[in-house]
């Protein structure tokens, strides 16, 4: 039966109520960024970056690089819209781009937070525990880097210990160490030992690294140098901006979008000049500054708005997109943390972000990681995956014969199909409470954070180190020790 024309038009007009830019609005943002790149330019505080731009005929004035729209468009032509990151266990290879998305853990926290809100300095053992939780996670697709910054190992070589743990304790794909040019080289050397040498991973993505701009309109020496080293080997980079609206960027969202777009495109252009075809991800975690405290707010409603906007800009350029996941300003895994994290993660996934960093564990505007919140966020990741999964509309799924057999006033509980699918059709949480009040009290009457605290220890007790060639592990350990001795 054909629907009335008016009804068809109403269906076509239905969409997510978050603001969707018109083609004219996207072009206006693009044009503003092109004007910034051509007139003001972007400073690169790394001499080799300036040499690369100059070698390719770009305008270089001191540390400032100015790019034309043609320069940017040429770079975008060679950047792939989708790529695969290979894990040492091929079952854990992940695709980034198109309809594919990756959930990765929190990143860069100097502290560990307890369920009671106490913060303590993170240790390497904390880092190792997070690697083990990621290995055993049913929902996180890959390992990260610097989930916490360990304070009990020397800062100049801490990245070596973290890379070693990421590789040995977990066989999922892992993130690189773009802390410096040497950190990027160590990433390549250590990854190469898994696949048979650095030449074996040239233009074969086996890791991905986070390259942040230094807003407004700069790239630090460390970030630019890391980008160059990684791009030479075709290793993917997330080129991202974190702008505080009203502080390191304009107070308006449109102004921030134009500014961060210029920064991101400048970094992407450098990567493509170094090695055309290097996979890059368009990244943003910009948000509002709290005008009362002067601090960054990642739990603000403006943050999901920036996420949606960044995803649209990435699609405008045909690039994969990165943004944050379960983010909160709360210092404990409480109702505020759950509320803000759910809004952020669901918006991120629904709006088509392809690389979701900070999917689990973050508290206090990136200042801390929490083991309890990690598991709570992990369950949230499972829920979001379920919410965004397609609904099968087939004759078998509709199953009219069963509906007709049950008929009017019947029941479906004892039907064969119910028995067959009762454990797989619906999402079954492990931490969220669905018991009656009496059942909850009999189980101890624990809140979600305390249930998560118990679950952390149970998970870690069940952890088993994944297989790795002993010779490869010895080679990695020897490399780390040699580098620590400075030889």
| pLDDT tens per residue, range 1-56 | 455 454 555 544 446 788 999 999 999 999 999 999 999 999 999 999 999 999 99
pLDDT at 12 (0 to 100): 46
**C-alpha–C-alpha distance, residues 150 and 123, integer Å:** 4
Percent of the chain exceeding pLDDT 70 equals: 97
**C-alpha–C-alpha distance, residues 192 and 472, integer Å:** 10
Backbone angles phi and psi of 174, in degrees to 5: -130, 160
What is the mean predicted confidence (pLDDT) over 375-402? 96
What is the mean predicted confidence (pLDDT) over 149-173? 97
Walk me through the domains of the chain, giving residue ranges and CATH numbers: 77-387 (3.20.20.480)
147: left (phi over 0), alpha (psi -120 to 50) or beta: alpha
pLDDT at 94 (0 to 100): 98
Strand order of the β-sheet with 174-175 is 102-103, 355-357, 321-324, 280-284, 237-241, 207-212, 174-175
CB of 363 within 8 A of CB of 479? no
Of the pLDDT bands very low, low, confident and very high (cuts 50, 70, 90), residue 115 is: confident
Backbone angles phi and psi of 118, in degrees to 5: -80, 135
pLDDT at 4 (0 to 100): 47
Lowest mean per-residue pLDDT among 3-12, 147-156, 249-258, 428-437: 3-12
**C-alpha–C-alpha distance, residues 48 and 270, integer Å:** 11
Backbone angles phi and psi of 113, in degrees to 5: -110, 140
* Count of beta carbons in the 10 Å neighbourhood of residue 470: 8
pLDDT tens digit sequence for 209-227 = 999 999 999 999 999 999 9
Of the pLDDT bands very low, low, confident and very high (cuts 50, 70, 90), residue 486 is: confident
**C-alpha–C-alpha distance, residues 226 and 180, integer Å:** 6
Percent of the chain exceeding pLDDT 90 equals: 95
pLDDT at 268 (0 to 100): 98
pLDDT at 11 (0 to 100): 46
Of the pLDDT bands very low, low, confident and very high (cuts 50, 70, 90), residue 234 is: very high
pLDDT at 15 (0 to 100): 61
Cα 481 to the chain's mean position, in Å? 30
The reply to whether the predicted model has a pTM over 0.75 is yes
pLDDT at 52 (0 to 100): 98
Residue with tokens 């829920």: 383
Neighbouring residues of 476: CB distance < 8 A, sequence distance ≥ 6: 164, 167, 168, 190, 193
E strand or H helix that includes residue 97: strand 94-97
Is it the case that residue 487 has pLDDT exceeding 80? no
Average pLDDT, the chain: 95
């Amino acid at each position: 039966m054909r629907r009335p024309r008016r009804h068809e038009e109403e269906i076509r007009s239905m969409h997510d109520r978050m603001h969707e830019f018109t083609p004219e609005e996207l072009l206006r943002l693009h044009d503003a960024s092109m004007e910034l790149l051509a007139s003001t330019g972007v400073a690169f505080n790394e001499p080799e970056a300036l040499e690369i731009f100059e070698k390719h005929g770009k305008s270089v004035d001191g540390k400032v690089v100015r790019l034309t729209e043609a320069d940017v468009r040429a770079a975008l032509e060679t950047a792939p819209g989708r790529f695969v990151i290979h894990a040492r266990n091929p079952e854990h290879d992940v695709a980034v781009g198109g309809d594919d998305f990756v959930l990765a853990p929190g990143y860069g926290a100097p502290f560990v937070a307890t369920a009671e809100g106490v913060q303590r300095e993170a240790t390497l053992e904390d880092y190792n525990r997070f690697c083990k939780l990621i290995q055993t996670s049913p929902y996180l697709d890959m390992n990260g880097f610097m989930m916490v910054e360990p304070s009990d190992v020397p800062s100049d070589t801490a990245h070596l210990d973290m890379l070693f743990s990421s590789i040995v304790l977990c066989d999922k794909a892992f993130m690189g160490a773009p802390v410096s040019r040497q950190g990027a080289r160590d990433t390549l050397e250590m990854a190469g030992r898994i696949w048979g040498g650095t030449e074996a991973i040239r233009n074969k993505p086996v890791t991905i690294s986070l390259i942040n701009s230094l807003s407004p309109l700069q790239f630090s020496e460390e970030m630019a140098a890391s980008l160059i080293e990684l791009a030479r080997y075709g290793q993917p980079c997330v080129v991202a901006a974190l702008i505080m609206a009203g502080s390191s960027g304009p107070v308006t969202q449109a102004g921030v979008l134009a500014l961060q777009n210029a920064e991101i495109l400048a970094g992407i252009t450098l990567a493509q000049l170094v090695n055309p075809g290097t996979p890059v991800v368009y990244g943003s975690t910009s948000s509002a500054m709290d005008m009362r405290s002067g601090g960054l707010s990642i739990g603000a409603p403006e943050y999901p708005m920036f996420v949606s906007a960044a995803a649209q800009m990435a699609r405008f350029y045909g690039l994969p997109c990165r943004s944050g996941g379960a983010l909160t300003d709360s210092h404990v895994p409480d109702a505020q943390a759950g509320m803000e994290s759910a809004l952020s993660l669901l918006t991120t996934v629904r709006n088509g972000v392809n690389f979701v960093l900070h999917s689990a564990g973050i508290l206090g505007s990136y200042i801390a990681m929490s083991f309890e919140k990690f598991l709570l966020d992990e369950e949230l990741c499972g829920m979001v995956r379920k919410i965004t999964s397609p609904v099968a509309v087939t004759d078998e799924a509709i199953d009219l014969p069963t509906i007709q057999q049950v008929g009017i006033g019947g029941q479906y509980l004892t039907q064969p199909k119910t028995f067959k699918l009762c454990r797989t059709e619906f999402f079954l949480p492990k931490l969220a409470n669905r018991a009656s009040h009496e059942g909850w009290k009999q189980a101890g009457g624990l809140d979600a954070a305390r249930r998560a605290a118990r679950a952390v220890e149970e998970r870690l007790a069940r952890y088993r180190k994944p297989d790795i060639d002993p010779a490869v592990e010895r080679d990695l350990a020897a490399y780390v020790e040699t580098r620590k001795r400075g030889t």
